Chain A
Amino acid sequence: MLRESILDPEAAQYRKVVPAGDYWIHVVKKGETLRILDLEGNQAVDTLFFNADDPAEHYSACDTIRKQGNIYLSTGTILLSDLCRPMLTITADTVGRHDTLGGACSTESNTVRYALEKKSMHACRNSFLLAVAENDHFGLTKRDITHNINFFMYVPVTPDGGLAFADGLSAPGKYVEMLAHMNVIVLISNCPQLNNPCNAYNPTPIEVLIWGAAN
């Protein structure tokens, strides 16, 4: 469901542009609001969430889509953990549908999807793995790199049970915003994929913004 935010970017307490192919890892505290802004349009943003106070608890795609009875994420979606607890709620969304079936790209899945020779091309999972290695104070490892969200990606299921990778619904300036219900570690890979239209074959930067807890 489309809903515009009432929050003013000028009043954000934190703003950062994340270049294509980089990761961003940051703790968003309970009550704070995170916005992910698609600066140039059609940019897949692979995202994982962990409970900052117990990082073994993580975003669960299966529990989230089953509890809401819908495969698409949008305004009103409660992002659940593997313990079926609310981590964040999507409070504003100017895109309408976000994917959580397609997972992240990896060098290994690129060999299967495109060609064995693609194994040296940069991929989201490498960004995730570097992120947890360079930030080992969080205690995260490869086992925690699970089934993620792809903000701004559109992956419809066809009536006969197929999976399509459709043109993104996003455009320059579109965003998705979510309110944290617990202290969450947000781990983003701003997707470097060059082999399919998820980034319009041109990965571009995003901006992340955080507002403090509402008074």
Chain B
Amino acid sequence: MTLITSDTLPGGKHWSLLLWRNNRLKLTDVEGGANVGMVFYNPLNLLERYNAPDTLKCQHTFKLTEGHCLYSDMGRIFCSIVSDTFGWHDTVGGNTTKATVASKWGETSYQKNRNDWQQNGYDSFLVEAAKYGLGRRDLPANVNWFSKIVVADDGALSLDASATKPGASVELRFEMHTLVLFHTCPHPLSKAPNYPARPVLYEIFEGPPAAADDPNRLSAPENARGFENNRIFQVGCCRETR
């Protein structure tokens, strides 16, 4: 495993990355209490994007953790969760908006607060998406890393803030070339008394491809078929591009 680059995104900010197949992206919640909103697109066809319902139903899971794969709407795997010390990430909670941030934590503005203004997840995705010609019609349900959403028997959902762990990390191995949009804005169900602006360390590694006995490939027969869909796709378009 070779470290290519490493950086820290402060809390309440946004960025985007183009990652190559077999790149790894490791996210670390440095201080605890972070949230990372994230969506994925196929840079060869931006209409292919992360699909939370397919990701959940293909693996009969509500939470995301080690062993799971994140699917596009085209039956392919953007990335595998190869390690996870947090244990239960959300993909149905969505984003904060300007209105929800203002109602929870008060109004801020760039004029008054400069770069300490309290940005929201939805607008963050809009800005990153626009860099690639994408708009609000193109934003699918996102992942919220480091946020544990639990569901009661009656269907009630809530954020389990006690799950936070300073230093928790999650590592993704990309199984195809992927455009990644992400932000470090708070989870919309956060009840933190103050806007939680928590930094996130992100490191990008070059690593080996998934082996035949890879745990993600073997974690479910569905994932074995997902990997096969990737193989078929990449034989045609981008097997040797790197």
Contacts and interface: CB of A to CB of B under 8 A. Distances in A.
Interface stretch (B172-180, B205-213, B220-228): B220-228
B235 interface: no
A163 B61 CA distance: 5
Chain B interface size range? 35 or more
Nearest to B223: A112
A56 to B, nearest CB: 5
A56 B57 contact: no
B141 A112 contact: no
Interface string B93-123: 1110101000000000000000000000000
A113 interface: yes
Contact of A143 (B97, B137, B142, B188): B137
Interface residues of A, number: 44
A146 B140 contact: yes
Contact of B58 (A109, A156, A164): A109
Contacts of A69: 156-158
Given A116-B228, A146-B140, A101 B97 contact: no
Given A108-B229, A112-B229, A116-B225, A102 B56 contact: yes
A22 interface: no
17 contacts: A62-B94, A62-B95, A65-B92, A66-B189, A101-B53, A103-B57, A108-B76, A110-B75, A112-B225, A113-B58, A113-B222, A125-B73, A142-B47, A143-B47, A146-B140, A162-B60, A165-B60
Interface of B: 47, 51-54, 56-58, 60-63, 71, 73-76, 88, 92-95, 97, 99, 135-142, 150-151, 154-158, 188-189, 222-223, 225-226, 228-229
Given A82-B139, A109-B58, 8 more contacts: A65-B92, A70-B154, A70-B156, A112-B223, A142-B47, A158-B62, A163-B57, A163-B61
